[in-house]
Amino acid sequence: MALIKEIWVNEVVETLTQDAAFLPASIDHSAYIAFGTVHLPQSGANPTILLNPTSFPLTIANRTDTDRTYSMDRYALEPTIIDNLDALQVSYDKKNSVIGQQIRTLVERIGTQVAYTWTATGASNIVYTTGAAGTSLAPSATGTRKAVALADIANLAKKLDKDNVPRLGRKLLMNSDMFWELHSISDVIKASYNGFQTNVLATGTVAQLFGFEIMIRPTVSVFANSATVPKAVTAAGAATDNLACIAWHPSTVSRALGTINPLFDEGGNGNGKPEYLGSIFNMEVMLGSAIIREDMKGVASLVQTWVS
């Protein structure tokens, strides 16, 4: 029996929604992909406001627009050999154990890459932690870093206020260690007792604070010490690494989902490839993501402050 492609495409779409819950909190540009690239027109400067003009004719200005683009990334699994095609088609348990594991791994990697592309860069878009000296938290880091303080979350909100983005629907994606560091603050604990927890299964939101719906995942972004851009997802860890969280409004970031292509080679006779003694499965996903504005308005990063 051949692989039923439609089933697996729906499975991946559903998994992207469930396991990378923060992805839908963005503008969907899937319909605007042209030759593997999404184009985002950037309007020029606002016109000058004249109060009680007395000199005529008025000066005529030209608005110069620019084109911001982002490309689609191609994600693929390491191919997996499946030695029992019939069981694959009829057994839900085997589907979950073999292909389900591969899809979850793929989605986790996609989520980490999207978090990286949504991470605000540049000193003016970064808020640094200001709490007491705490642990380093990053996987390869050593020493101490300033812990997350309530004032840091307020400063993220202040940055988005200055960027003039809506208050309703703002998101804060936190590394799980940094979230629980924040949750250890007595005022936050008291707030949780008063019911700020929401329906996590339905929304992915675990808490609300200063207008942010807080979501958590094991990995968000990592900055090298003194850097104002995040390290690449595949970069090696370092002792001076600093964890980061990202804050945004759904109108300020985007994602574009292209093709989802399940690949299955069961050999010419349908009994598996003789040289592998089984059938081979892989999955290809095309997905891009970006911060919409070049100036990164409406997006901010919260980065640990290095102490020692």
Q: Is residue 113 part of a domain?
A: yes
**For the chain, percent of residues with pLDDT exceeding 70:** 82
The strand pair at 242-248 and 253-265 is best described as: unpaired
Q: Is residue 53 part of a domain?
A: no
Q: Is the pLDDT of residue 10 over 80?
A: no
Provide the CA 252 distance to its chain's centre, in angstroms: 13
Q: Is residue 50 part of a domain?
A: no
CA atoms within 13 A on the CB side of 245: 32
Q: Can you give the pLDDT at residue 19?
A: 64
Q: Is residue 185 part of a domain?
A: yes
pLDDT tens-place string over residues 50-84? 888 888 998 888 888 778 889 999 999 888 887 75
For the chain, give the mean pLDDT. 84
Q: Is residue 39 part of a domain?
A: no
Q: Is residue 78 part of a domain?
A: yes
What 3-state DSSP class applies to 123?
A: helix
Q: Whole-model pTM above 0.85? A: no
Tokens representing 274 are 């003789």
Tokens representing 98 are 């073999």
Residues in the chain: 308
Cis peptide before 274 (omega within 30 of 0): no
CATH number for the domain that contains residue 261: 3.90.1690
Angle at 16 between CA 176 and CA 159, to 5 degrees: 50
More confident residue, 46 or 85: 46
CA atoms within 13 A on the CB side of 203: 14
Q: Closest Cα partner for 2 from 86, 76, 78?
A: 86
- Please name the residues in contact with 215: beta carbons below 8 A apart, sequence gap of 6 or more: 21, 22, 171, 172, 173, 174, 204, 205, 206
Query: For residue 193, what pLDDT band results from cuts at 50, 70 and 90?
Result: very low
Cα distances (Å, whole numbers) of residue 292 to 120, 173, 189: 11, 18, 35
Residue carrying the six token digits 């002792």? 239
Tokens representing 181 are 């560091």
The DSSP code sequence of 78-92 is PPEEES-HHHHHH-H
Q: Is residue 179 part of a domain?
A: yes
- How many CB atoms lie under 10 A from the CB of residue 54? 5
**Structural domain harbouring 238:** 1-34+68-308
Q: Is residue 199 part of a domain?
A: yes
Domain count, the chain: 1
Q: Can you give the pLDDT at residue 6?
A: 65
